[in-house]
């Protein structure tokens, strides 16, 4: 990587630290607002219309606090160790972190846990969250200016393997482009904003977990990338 790319990565590391601190400060302020709304709601002299407004303040504050907690869980430094996690919980966290942008882009997201056993794996939580977010971001980018944009996420467990597939209704990716994107022997071709780094980084993280990324064909077009990991238990 050249000096500009290393500088950008360092900037992002600093941003993560600053965001983590800011999240806690804002969350503390939200708790004060939520507590004040609860106290106001207990006053008998407040009319029904005011009660409804106070209730909405409390609900909105609670949702904002939950979003901040999820963001803090992603940016918080970790001990780097692998522990047992339900991959469905990590998928839900990744989707929640992108929820605002997805809604604004009118992208419909569905999560299908399937009917198999829970997808549990021994993983480094922040790293696998990074992979899931990268797959979501790639799917979002593929849906730019598409009609009825949709993303489907499916969790499956078969024998000793857990699979998390992220499928979008975009134009898809060719086999040649795929090999170039995840080739461990070469650095990715980086575009503006470090585009091209997501799949390459995700493939390396998957390999560190004794897993891999997999490109699969989808009926009727679109793109589908799966994170495949060894199942635990």
Judged by DSSP in three states, 120 sits in strand
Mean of the per-residue pLDDT values for the chain? 77
pLDDT at 160 over 80: yes
Per-residue pLDDT band for 2 (boundaries 50, 70, 90) equals low
pLDDT at 153 over 90: yes
| Residue 72, both tokens | 């803090």
Ranges of each domain in the chain: 3-75, 83-230
pLDDT at 12 over 80: no
Tell me the DSSP string of 185-209.
TS-----GGGTTHHHHHHHHHHHHT
Q: What is the structure's pLDDT at 13?
A: 62
Q: What is the structure's pLDDT at 134?
A: 86
Q: Return the H-helix or E-strand segment holding 105.
A: none
Judged by DSSP in three states, 1 sits in coil
CA nearest 225: which of 158, 100, 140? Answer: 140
Stretch 21-39: mean pLDDT, rounded? 73
Considering 130-134, 141-145, 169-173, 214-218, the range whose residues carry the highest mean pLDDT is 130-134
Q: Which of 153-162, 187-196, 215-224 has the least mean pLDDT? A: 187-196
**CA–CA dist 71, 177 (Å, integer):** 32
**CA–CA dist 126, 79 (Å, integer):** 10
Residue, of 94 and 6, whose pLDDT is higher:
94
Q: Give the chain's largest Cα–Cα span.
A: 71
Stretch 72-85: mean pLDDT, rounded? 69
Whole-angstrom CA distances from 131 to 124, 140, 188, 211 are 11, 14, 16, 12
Helix, strand and coil content of the chain, in percent to the nearest 5, comes to: 55, 20, 30
CB neighbour burial string for 95-121, b if at least 16 within 10 angstroms, e if fewer: bbbbeeebeeeebebeeebeeeebbbb
**CA–CA dist 13, 146 (Å, integer):** 33
Between helices 175-182 and 197-208, what is the axis angle to 10°? Answer: 70
Label the pairing between strands 212-216 and 161-168.
unpaired
**Interval 39-48: pLDDT, tens:** 777 776 777 8
Contact in structure between 132 and 225 (CB atoms under 8 Å): no
Per-residue pLDDT band for 121 (boundaries 50, 70, 90) equals very high
pTM greater than 0.85 = no
State whether CATH 3.40.50.300 applies to domain 83-230: no
**CA–CA dist 74, 95 (Å, integer):** 12
Residue, of 196 and 85, whose pLDDT is higher:
85
Q: What is the structure's pLDDT at 102?
A: 86
């Amino acid at each position: 990587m050249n000096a500009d790319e290393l500088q950008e990565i360092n900037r992002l590391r600093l941003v993560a630290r600053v965001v983590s601190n800011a999240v806690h400060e804002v969350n503390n302020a939200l708790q004060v607002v939520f507590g004040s709304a609860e106290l106001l709601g207990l006053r008998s002299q407040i009319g029904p219309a005011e009660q409804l407004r106070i209730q909405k303040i409390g609900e909105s504050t609670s949702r904002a606090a939950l979003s901040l907690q999820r963001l803090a869980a992603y940016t918080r430094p970790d001990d780097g160790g692998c522990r047992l996690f339900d991959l469905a919980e990590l998928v839900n966290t990744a989707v929640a972190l992108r929820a605002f942008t997805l809604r604004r882009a009118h992208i419909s997201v569905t999560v299908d846990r399937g009917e198999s056993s829970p997808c549990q794996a021994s993983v480094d939580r922040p790293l696998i969250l990074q992979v899931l977010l990268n797959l979501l971001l790639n799917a979002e980018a593929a849906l730019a200016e598409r009609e009825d944009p949709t993303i489907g996420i499916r969790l499956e467990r078969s024998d000793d393997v857990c699979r998390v597939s992220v499928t979008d209704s975009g134009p898809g990716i060719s086999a040649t482009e795929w090999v170039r994107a995840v080739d461990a022997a070469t650095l990715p071709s980086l575009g503006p904003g470090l585009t091209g780094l997501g799949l390459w980084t995700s493939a390396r993280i998957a390999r560190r977990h004794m897993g891999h990324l997999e490109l699969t064909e989808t009926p009727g077009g679109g793109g589908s990338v799966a994170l495949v990991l060894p199942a635990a238990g």
